[in-house]
Amino acid sequence: MENEELGQILDAEVYQAICKGEIIQEYPDDKPYPSVLIFGQTNNKRPLHIVCSYNNDEDIAIIITVYEPNPNRWIDFKRRRIK
């Protein structure tokens, strides 16, 4: 998140995007826990993709990666563009 190409992503931005976000892809076979790709926007309308999983036993969310999606590779930041 510190070395993001389009500028550093702050923890508060991740929280905002998750709270307002929606799951756009599910990865049920990921190990050790299934994960999801969430698209959300910060309070300043910055689009973010967050890959995270959820540990039911410990009741915690695990953030795997966060990035600002390239608009040339995504349609409305929700669907990948076909090359």
Contacts 24+ apart (CB under 8 A), 25-31: 27/51
- Kind plus residue range of the DSSP H or E element containing 14: helix 11-20
pLDDT tens, 11-70? 999 999 999 999 999 999 999 999 999 999 999 999 999 999 999 899 999 999 999 998
- pLDDT for the residue 2: 64
**pLDDT bracket for residue 82 (50, 70, 90):** confident
Predicted TM-score of the model (pTM): 0.86
Residue spans of the domains in the chain: they are 11-76
